[in-house]
A and B are shown apart, each in its own frame.
Chain A
Amino acid sequence: MSTTIAPVEVGTGSLAGSARRALPSTPALALARTRIELRQFFRERMAVIFIFAYPILMLAIFATVFGQDGTTVGPEPGIPFAQYFLPGMVATGILLSSFQNLAMGIAVERDEGGLKRLRGTPMPASAYFLGKVGSVLVTSLIQMVLLIGIAALAFGVDLPTEASRWVTFAWVFVLGTAAGAVCGVAFSSVPRSGRSASAIVTPIVLVLQFISGVFFQFDQLPSWMQTLSGLFPLRWMAQGMRSVFLPDWAMQLEPSGAWQHGTTAAVLGAYLVIGLVVGVRTFRWRRRDDG
């Protein structure tokens, strides 16, 4: 190495500090983390397929299989199948790219020693978490654009034109992504190892999808299942998205006969706060067997 360093003045931290340039700012590091997280995510083919492309593939398959011969949902005139199915896939997409992505991804990073290494650098913890949030926002946005675009172009789903519906979309998307992300961070400490993470997280997400009426018409699920799903955010994200993409008369298909925006906001907000508190208190930078 050609660089030669003068012996360090030990014990004069401020002096040594001023001799060097200032520490990089947290926003700059958060941006650097976002970039590296995205690069990493899109290079992991399995993750891209299961987290990113899954809702797009499911929409394509379900709409093709069940939507043939002009099948509709609900009383006359009915909602074309692809249109009824889209809100559920939008909600699933948000859950996967926020909750599942982080719960599994961070567990693996911790297991591989990546978290411990980062902890040993001058990168502030907040830059790490902001980087996660940034990358989740970008992946979910790309996912939403592709999902909704394919629904409109390939399956002829009429997209809403009223601005108020897109406002609803925006807040359900942002609140759902944020809640999913902080819960994913909190949940990442649950699996004992990175390897077991997918075995624990995937079934939870799958069960949530079934009971929240993502695959089926929600009003045809047993009522106890509808009630149970009310405890979890996916059902409320799906309902919120139905209020965006379905005509207003379809609210009679909801168990309550209304879109319940207030409850949706309250449940997602509660998950956001609880996830944040639990996540901050329980986050581990090291493996569980690492003391």
Chain B
Amino acid sequence: MNTPAVLVQDLHKHYGDKHAVDGLDLRVEQGEIFAVLGPNGAGKTTTVEILEGYRKRDRGTVQVLGEDPQHAGRLWRSRIGIVLQSADDHAELTVSEMVRHHAAFYPGARDADEVIDAVGLADKARTRTRALSGGQRRRLDVALGIIGNPSLLFLDEPTTGFDPEARRSFWSLISSLREDGTTILLTTHYMDEAEQLADRCAVVRDGRVVALDAPSALGARAQKQATVTWHDGGPREQRTSRPTDLVAELAARYGGEVPGLEVHRPTLEDVYLELVGEVA
């Protein structure tokens, strides 16, 4: 029987009157890539930082790799890897020095050169970190996150501010970690990122999980509803779960070509916006 990598039940965290996390449940299985999606302020980062042991919860139970992060020790820390939202520390050290230094913190760390190679920084190994581009710096952050050979890797909004090409190559880096059996918990506010990477994703709103499924299933659920638009003096629109019937009916009504006919199925982005949009 498999114990989950992360198990969260009825998690609460308040800041004054604000309920940042308000009864959140989460279960991440070993070896899966799990995305936590949600707009800014939905409670993603607070939740993840509780799982990482940075913050204390007010209520609820949290198990990460079988231990309570609030009381877990160095051995537990050596089994998780954390890639924070932003860091530009140690600017004067080279990539190689940084990775080697972090390797010394862990029992059974990975080989530094292999890790540098895996994140695609082999030709930057002797470059000082301040000279790295944003995308390269992020790759270094990932290298530092995985150098300890973690069972569970946390990635907090890893591609914010990336150009499309950098995102794509970053995604293939993360996918390659899956093959090593690393469990990855990723937060993002990009739906396409979850779609590319995640086996399952949870949509978080107001500190609670409002939807939980595989990204494709999440889309399929809403794709039952299609929107048919056409022109009849002005623009006309109708939502239906049987668009073919509607189009056939329209075709009959207009005796052939329907003016300006379009049939839309919601994209994953639309599904996501609908899920989190009600808050606005």
Which residues of A come within 8 Å of B, CB atoms? 1-8, 10-13, 16-17, 20-24, 28-29, 32, 36, 39-40, 43-44, 109, 112-117, 119-124, 286, 291
Provide the bound-state CA to CA distance between A119 and B2, in Å: 29
| B55 CB–A CB distance under 8 Å | yes
Q: Which 9 A-B pairs have the closest CB atoms?
A: A114-B89, A11-B66, A113-B87, A8-B151, A43-B92, A122-B77, A120-B82, A122-B78, A112-B89
Chain B minimum-CB-distance residue to A28: B104
Q: Is the CB of A5 within 8 A of B180?
A: yes
Asked if B25 is at the interface of the complex by the 8 Å CB criterion, the answer is no
Per DSSP, chain A at the interface is loop
**Is the CB–CB distance between A13 and B87 below 8 Å?**
no
Q: Which residues of A contact B144 (CB under 8 A)?
A: 117
Q: Which chain A residue shows the least CB distance to B53?
A: A120
Contact of A117 with B87 in the complex, beta carbons under 8 Å: yes
Q: How far is the CA of A291 from the CA of B18 in the complex (A)?
A: 13
For the complex, what is the distance from the CA of A24 to the CA of B4, rounded to whole Å? 28
Q: Can you list 14 contacts pairing A with B, beta carbon distance less than 8 Å?
A: A1-B180, A5-B149, A8-B65, A10-B4, A12-B66, A13-B67, A17-B75, A21-B107, A23-B78, A36-B101, A112-B88, A116-B84, A121-B105, A291-B55
- Do the beta carbons of A1 and B54 come within 8 Å of each other? no
Does residue B106 face the partner (Cβ distance < 8 Å to A)? yes
* CB–CB B101/A32 < 8 A: yes
Chain B residue numbers with a CB within 8 Å of A39 are 92-93, 97
Say yes or no for B74: interface residue by CB 8 A criterion.
yes
Looking at the complex, which one of B65, B84, B181 makes contact with A113 (CB distance below 8 Å)? B84
Contact assessment for B181 and A6 in the assembled complex, using a CB-CB cutoff below 8 Å = yes
Assess whether A121 is in contact with B92, with CB atoms less than 8 Å apart. no
CB contacts (< 8 Å) of B88 on chain A: these are: 112-113
Chain B residues with Cβ below 8 Å from A32 are 101, 104
C-alpha spacing A29/B78, complex, angstroms: 14
CB-nearest residue of chain B to A115: B89
* Contact B108 A286, beta carbon cutoff 8 Å: no
> A122 touching B66 by the CB < 8 A rule?
no
Q: By the criterion CB–CB under 8 Å, are B74 and A8 in contact? A: no
- Given A7-B181, A10-B3, A43-B92, decide whether A120 and B105 contact each other with a Cβ distance below 8 A: no
What distance in Å separates the Cβ of B2 from its nearest Cβ neighbour in chain A? 8
Could you say which of A8, A40, A109, A112 has the most chain B C-beta atoms within 10 Å of its C-beta? A8
Chain B 84-102, CB-CB to A under 8 Å as 1, else 0, gives 1011111111000100011
Residue with the highest number of chain B CB atoms closer than 10 Å, among A36, A43, A114, A121: A121
- The docked-state distance in angstroms from the alpha carbon of A4 to that of B31 is 12
**In the complex where A13-B66, A117-B84 touch, is A109 in contact with B89 (Cβ < 8 A)?**
yes
Do the beta carbons of A286 and B104 come within 8 Å of each other? no
> A40's contact among B30, B75, B90, B106, by CB below 8 Å, is which?
B90
Please, which residues of chain B bring their CB within 8 A of the CB of A119? 54
List chain A residues, Cβ under 8 A from B176.
1
Task: Type the 1/0 row for B49-62, where 1 means its CB is closer than 8 Å to any CB of A.
Answer: 00011110000000
Partner of A3, one of B52, B87, B107, B110: B110
- Report the bound CA distance from A122 to B81 in whole Å: 10
Does B246 count as interface, using CB distance less than 8 angstroms?
no
- Rounded to whole Å, the gap between the CB of A110 and the closest CB of chain B is 9
CA distance A228 to B74 in the complex (A): 46
The residues of A that contact B190 with a CB separation of less than 8 Å are none
Point out the residues of chain A lying under 8 angstroms from B43, CB to CB. Answer: none
Max count, chain B CB within 10 A of own CB: residue among A6, A22, A32:
A32
Which chain B residues lie closer than 8 Å to A114 at the CB level? 87, 89-90
Given known pairs A24-B104, A116-B54, the reply for A10 and B84 (CB within 8 Å) is no
